[in-house]
Amino acid sequence: MSLSKVAAKAFMPSAVRTFASSAVARDVNITLHPQSFEAYKCDAPSLELTLKKEELVHMYNSMVTMRRMEMASDALYKAKLIRGFCHLCTGQEAVAVGMETALTEKDKIITAYRCHGFTYMRGGSITSILAELLGRKAGISGGKGGSMHMFTPNFFGGNGIVGAQVPLGAGIAFAQKYLGEKAATFALYGDGASNQGQVFEAYNMAKLWDLPCVFVCENNRYGMGTAANRSSANTSYFKRGDYIPGVKVNGMDVLAVHQAVAYAKEWTVSGKGPLLLEMETYRYGGHSMSDPGTTYRTREEIQHMRSNNDPITGLKQRMLDFGVVTEEELKAIDKAARAEVDKAVEESKASPEPDVDQLFTQIYIKGTEVPHIRGREPEEGIRF
C-alpha cells in the first residue's frame, strides 16, 4: 500500500454515532475506518466497538508515557549511561497499548528485542525498565540483561535472537490449552523475523494442535536496514500462515489494534485454533541506537509518517472529536507523563549497580547449582 493511502487511512474521520457529554454517560460508540482490517480465510473484525471514556484516556496516557520513556532512553543512551544494544519502539506504541487493553492478565505475551513498551504495558514500572537499560539493581531483571531482557509474570520477555521467541509462544499456548485456561498467547515478531524457519515450524504445530496462539507480525516495513519487499517473497504477512487465517490491521490506530486483538482472543479461546495478525506500523527511529535510520529510507518518509499517521496524534484527535476530553485535559496528561518519566529517570540513575555475586546466580535453580563455577584463574570462582 502506498504511503499516501496509509496516511489517508489513519486520518479518515471515524463516524461517532452516539456519545453523551463526558460529564454523564461514559460509553463511546466508535466506528472504525472501513480499511482498518483486511481478512484472510476469516471474517474481518467488526468495525463497531464501544469503549469507556476511561479506557480511551488510559490508552492515550499509556502511549504518551511510553513515548516519553523511549525518549528518555534515547537521551540516556546519548549521554552514554545506557550502553550496548537498545531498540526503541517510538512510533509503534499503538500495538503494545491496543493489545494490552484487549487482554487480561491470564493472557500471555512474548516478543522480540523491541520490548520496552510491552514490558511497561504488562506491569513493568518505568523505573524498572530504565534501570534495566542502565544495568542497575532496580532493573526488572536485576540489571543482568539490559535492553532485550525484560520480563513480567505474564510477559515472557524480550528476546535477542531473531524469531526464537515464536515457537516458545506456541509452547506457552499449548500449556494454556492443556491447563484448560480460557486465555491466549500472543507471540510477536517483526517483518524481518518472519522469514526465520522456526516461525513456520511454530505455525504448523499451532495449527496441527489448534493452539490458542495468535502470531502477531509487527510490520514496521524494515527488518534492520532491509525493506520488507527486499526480504520477503510475500509481504502480506497475515497470509503467510497459509492454513492459518489472518487479519491485517492498521497498527497505527490503537482502536483498530484493540478491536483486532479482542477478535483474535475470542477466535483462539473459542477453540478455532491459531490466528495471524499483521500490524502495519512504523518505527520513527533506527533499528537500534547505532542505526540513524535514514540510509535506507528517506527523511521525508519518516516525517510524513510522523505528521500524518502518528498513533498518539490520531487518538488525540479522535478523543477531541468525540468530545470526551478537552485540550486542557490532554495537556495535563502529557505533563504528568513527562513528570512521571523524569522521576523514573532520576530513580533509576540513583539505583546502584547489582552486587557482583549476582554474576553467579540464576544459572541453575538454587540448591542444585553446579558445585563449582570456575573463574578465570584457579583462585577465582565460587563453590555452592
Partner 1 sequence: MASLIRSARLASNAIFQQRLPAKLLHTSAKSHYAAANSPPPAEGFMPGVANSKLIKHTQHDALRNPELASVANGETKKMNLFQSVNDAMAIALATDDTACVFGEDVAFGGVFRCTMGLSETFGRDRVFNTPLTEQGIAGFAIGMAAMGSTAIAEIQFADYIFPAFDQIVNEAAKYRYRSGGEFNVGGLTFRTPCGAVGHGGHYHSQHPEAYFAHTPGIKVVVPRSPIQAKGLLLASIRDRNPVVFMEPKILYRAAVEQVPVGDYELPLGKAEILQQGKDLTIVGWGAQLYVLENAIQLAQKRMPGLSVELIDLRSILPWDVETVCNSVNKTGRLLIAHEASKTQGFAAEIAATVQERCFLRLESPIERICSFDTPFPLIFEKFYVPDMIRCAEGIERAMKF
| Displacement of CA 194 from its chain's centroid (Å) | 16
Nearer to partner 1, 52 or 78 (CB): 78
CA 320, CA 211: separation in Å to the nearest integer?
A: 40
Query: DSSP for 275-325?
Result: EEEEEE---SS-SSTT--S-SSS-HHHHHHHHHHH-HHHHHHHHHHHHTSS
The one segment of 42-50, 114-122, 219-227, 247-255 that binds partner 1 by CB under 8 A: 219-227
| Cβ distance to partner 1 smaller for residue 62 or 73 | 73
Q: Is 12 near partner 1 (CB under 8 A)?
A: no
User: What is the C-alpha separation between 18 and 222, in angstroms, rounded?
Assistant: 40
Nearest approach, Cβ of residue 126 and partner 1 (Å): 20
- Of 197 and 271, the one with the shorter C-beta distance to partner 1 is 197
Nearer to partner 1, 11 or 113 (CB): 113
Among 299, 356, 365, 368, binds partner 1 (CB under 8 A): 356
In angstroms, what is the minimal distance from the CB of 138 to partner 1?
12
**Least distance in angstroms from the C-beta of 346 to partner 1:** 20
Exactly one of 17, 230, 272, 343 binds partner 1 (CB under 8 A); that residue is: 230
**Residue from 300, 327, 328, 379 that binds partner 1 (CB under 8 A)?**
379
Cell of 321: 472529536
Answer yes or no whether residue 157 interacts with partner 1 by CB under 8 A: no
Strand extents, DSSP E, the chain: 27-31, 37-40, 48-52, 108-110, 185-190, 213-219, 222-223, 226-227, 246-250, 275-280, 372-374, 381-383
31, 231, 308, 313: which one contacts partner 1 (CB under 8 A)?
231
The residue count of the chain comes to 384
Residues 235-264 that bind partner 1 (CB under 8 A): none
Does residue number 144 form part of the binding site for partner 1 (CB under 8 A)?
Answer: yes
Q: How far apart are CA 135 and CA 99, in angstroms?
A: 28
Q: Is 382 in the site for partner 1 (CB under 8 A)?
A: yes
Residue choice 57, 148, 166, 249 for contact with partner 1 (CB under 8 A):
148
Residue 238: all three cell numbers together: 497475515
Please report the DSSP string for 12-41 in residue order. SPPP---B--TTS--EEEEE--GGGEEEES
Q: Are the C-beta atoms of 192 and 226 separated by less than 8 Å?
A: yes
Cα–Cα separations (whole angstroms), residue 279 to 210, 246, 268, 296, 315 = 22, 11, 18, 21, 17
Residue with cell 513480567: 152
Binding flag, residue 195, partner 1 (CB under 8 A): yes
The answer to whether residue 125 forms part of the interface with partner 1 (CB under 8 A) is: no
Q: Looking at beta carbons only, is 62 or 128 nearer to partner 1? A: 128
Region near partner 1 per CB under 8 A, out of 5-13, 122-130, 155-163, 173-181: 155-163
By CB under 8 A, tell whether 87 contacts partner 1.
Answer: no
Cell of 339: 513528570
C-alpha cell at 264: 483474535
Per-residue exposure over 215-244, b if at least 16 CB sit within 10 Å of its own CB, e if not: bbbbbbbbbeeeebeeebeebebbbbbeeb
Task: Determine the residue type at 214.
Answer: V
Which residues in the 26-85 window bind partner 1 by CB under 8 A?
A: 77-78, 80, 83-85
Which residue, 300 or 377, is less far from partner 1 as judged by CB? 377
Q: Considering beta carbons, is residue 153 or 292 the nearer one to partner 1?
A: 292
Which residues contact partner 1 (rule: CB under 8 A)? Answer: 77-78, 80, 83-85, 135, 143-149, 160-164, 192-193, 195-198, 223-226, 230-232, 288-290, 295-296, 353-360, 363, 370, 372-383
